[in-house]
Each structure stands twice: as C-alpha cells, then as structure tokens.
Structure 1
C-alpha cells in the first residue's frame, strides 16, 4: 500500500510494519521497566537512609510493626540458631569467586516466628557435588539490615531435596523453606517471618550485602538508551519506506 504525505510517497508493507511495531514495543517496554527499577531503587535507598537516621531497632519492632513497614531497618538483637538447619543460597559471586550465602533460621525471644538470617558468603568447593562445611554459632547477636521486600526470577527447582544439612537453594521462598524444617519445629512454629536479615558484621562469613547494587542513575541511563533505540528503529523504518514524489512513476490517466 502507498500513501502520499509531506511531499513523499510512503510505501507500507504490512509485514514490515508489524515487525517494526513489535520491535518498538519491546524497546519501549524495556525502557519503562528500567525507569521503574530506578524509581524502586531510589525509594529503597531513601528508606534505608531514613532508618539509619532513626537508629537500629530491636526484637520489639518485629512484634509491634507490620513487616512491610520495616523494610530497610537496621536490627540488633540476640538470637538462637535453630540447629541443624542451614540453607546454602546458590550462585553467589564475591570478587569473581563463586560461592554460597549461608542462610539460617533463628529464634527470637518471646517471638512466635523464626527469622531468616543471611550470615554472609562462603566459597564453594571445587566439585559441584561437594558442599562447604559451615560452623554456625548456637547463640549470637544479629546486627544487620532487614529486607521484607524480597523475591526474584526463579528458573527450575528451588530446594534440592536432601535428608541432611546443609541444603542448597536457589532463592529464599518462605513457604518452601518452612516446609523443609524438621517436624518438631512445625509443631512449635506455624510459619516463618516474611523477611531476611542480612548480617553486616560479627560472623566468620564474609558480609558483602548492599541494599542497592546498581544505582538509580544507571537504571535511568539504560531507560534512555532503550528509548533512543526505539526512536532509531522508527526513523530507520520511516526512511526505508519514504520515496520522493518526483522519483515515483506517474499514475496512469
């Protein structure tokens, strides 16, 4: 199909038009997604900064406040490890080395839910079939950042079934982790607290967690990049379909 506009003939080929619209739609979607990610990161940094000004909280905050209100808070409290449960969060990279995050449930005095604590990073053995030997203290002091807004993309099986500890996991999924607890813990606790405390210091593991890895400005730069690519695809498509009037054959009388 050919139309005339702005002193040009525009040759429209429907399959190319649909392909162009599809490509531009994907690029615009990526741009919007990156922009939204930047907004989320900015809000996270603001929450963490606000909690830092207010100072650290103790276990009483877990009892008194909704978990969603506590995202980013700095917690300090004595806890007891619920032995022998240890989960190893897979595919964690630290300074170019592959390893695991050591994740455990802990009991908090006068609190009805175990709390998940990420103790930090440990290097993986050479053989994939081997798991690192981790030594977790029975009683210790939590000093870390609580994140209640967790989640991510999970590909494949999360929890590797095993009759012994530690167990390898791909992601912290509270329902699945609770289901893997020993039977006697199910009798004492009904579920897990919906949040993870990232220990900042005081353990033999490497504490490397940061609330935000990629800054908001970088997400916005990526958003602009995708938007410019969408614009470039549109311009190329317009140029490819344009023909000057004088170069087109005259229609028959």
Structure 2
C-alpha cells in the first residue's frame, strides 16, 4: 500500500476490514477463554458433588461432568466402536456399550474407554461384554454431534460409528436412552484405556495470550497506518508551500 494512496477510499476500506478482523479475532479468543473458564469452574464445582443415582427417569439438562452411579447390567446388543479415537498418537476406537438400568429397560450408553486399531477396519475387534448385575460409576458427558462423512445415520445394529450422536442412536434404538454418556471411572474393572479430558486454566491463559497478540497486532497496524497517513499529509503540504513562496 503506497503512502500516497493511504487516503484513497479503497485503501481506507481495506484498512477498516483488516482492523475489524484483528479486533474480531481478539474478541473471539476472549470468548474462548470465557468458555474454558466456565468449563473449568463448572467441572471443579461438580467433581466434588455426591454422585447422581441414575434411574429410568430421564436426566434433565445441565448434568455434564457430574459424577454418577447406576445399577443394572451391560446389554449384549447395541454395542459399537466409536471410530477415529487416538491415544498417544495411535489410532483406535472407544468402546460404547449400552447399560440396562435396574429397574426398567431404559439404557445409558457407557464409554468404556479406548482400544487400539490392529490391521484394517475390515477386521474390527469385538470387545467382550461384561455379564451379570453390577453397580458402575463415572462422569456424565453430553455428547455433541460432530463432523461426519456418513450420508445418513447408521442403523441401530451398526458396530462402527464415526460420530457419537446420542439423538441418532436413540431414534433408532428399540428402547429409551438417557441423554448423556457415562464415562466409566478409571478404577472400574469393566473398561479399557481411559484418559478423560480434564479442564485446567492453562487453556484459559493461552486464549488470553492469543487475544493480547491479536489486539497488539491491531494496535501496531493502526499505528503504521496513522504514520503513513501523516507522511502523506506532509507530502501534500510541501507543493502548496512551494507555490506560496513562489
């Protein structure tokens, strides 16, 4: 951008767009920091709560990250592998098994943890389903549908899914499903590799630092534009002064 054209309408439009973009990115990072802080605060408050006793009655909203216990048995049908899960850089799956809540026939999906992919997906592993009544515990997780290449939702008996879409699973299941997934506690014997995400304030500080960088870039950018504009004004005044002296 030439110093002699900084006041051109197109140049001013470009300056406005770039400045708004930099400020917008800074605000977005602050919003992300607020979201992570809210997640951290909510997790910290809920982690010490007494476990929710899950029954056949459907859980209400805002129960994510609460500890929970449920009595019943693992279902021999409906288990599937949640694809494209990694652990320490190795591809694999999460094993999702329905759990029949006693009394009744309502299920809650239990994430039993990660297992590795060996070979190709043409020969999928078949994790053993624990038998018999039991009490299991874990933390509630509200699964959100993510990006998928699937043209339509898988059938109920699909053994491999790209997405942990509870609403899609519940709509195809022949029984009622709780609107949360139970992430099995690490000390429970019916699971596999379990390293559940735990929020910390490092992510909050990182987003705040990114915001400062974007705002700083916006300030530097405006400073450069102002300096160029002042140089342009001085350059315009010189010919006028020369004519006056003549």
Whether TM-score is above 0.5 comes out as yes
Counterpart of 1:121 in structure 2 is 114
Bigger radius of gyration among the two: 2
Shift of 1:198: 1.1
Query: How many pairs were matched up?
Result: 235
Deviating more after overlay: 153-162 vs 95-104? 153-162
Counterpart of 1:132 in structure 2 is 125
Counterpart of 1:28 in structure 2 is 23
For the Cα contact (< 8 Å) 2:111–2:184, is it kept in 1?
A: yes
Counterpart of 1:199 in structure 2 is 184
Helix, strand or coil for the counterpart of 1:193?
A: strand
Alpha carbons of structure 1 residues 38 and 239: separation in structure 2 relative to 1, 3 Å:
same
Shift of 1:241: 4.1
In 1, the alpha carbon distance for the partners of 2:31 and 2:114 equals 29
For the Cα contact (< 8 Å) 2:153–2:168, is it kept in 1?
A: no
Matched, 1:209 2:203: no
- Superposition RMSD on alpha carbons, in Å? 3.2
For the Cα contact (< 8 Å) 1:159–1:176, is it kept in 2?
A: no
Deviating more after overlay: 21-30 vs 100-109? 21-30
In 1, the alpha carbon distance for the partners of 2:210 and 2:104 equals 44
In 2, the alpha carbon distance for the partners of 1:240 and 1:246 equals 10
Counterpart of 1:43 in structure 2 is 38
Matched, 1:247 2:235: yes
Q: For structure 1, which runs of at least 5 residues remain unmatched after alignment?
A: 1-7
Helix, strand or coil for the counterpart of 2:213?
A: helix
In 2, the alpha carbon distance for the partners of 1:158 and 1:207 equals 30
Match of 1:82 among 75, 78, 84: 75
For the Cα contact (< 8 Å) 1:34–1:220, is it kept in 2?
A: yes
Shift of 1:34: 2.4
In 2, the alpha carbon distance for the partners of 1:231 and 1:127 equals 52
Match of 2:88 among 77, 83, 95: 95
Shift of 1:79: 3.1
Alpha carbons of structure 1 residues 126 and 97: separation in structure 2 relative to 1, 3 Å:
same
Q: For structure 2, which runs of at least 5 residues remain unmatched after alignment?
A: none
Matched, 1:67 2:55: no
Counterpart of 1:4 in structure 2 is none
Structure 1 residues 104-156: Cα deviation after superposition (integer angstroms, max 9, x where no partner): 222212366421221111112332444333222144433211123x4264253
Match of 1:173 among 140, 165, 172: 165
TM-score (norm 1): 0.76
Shift of 1:59: 1.7
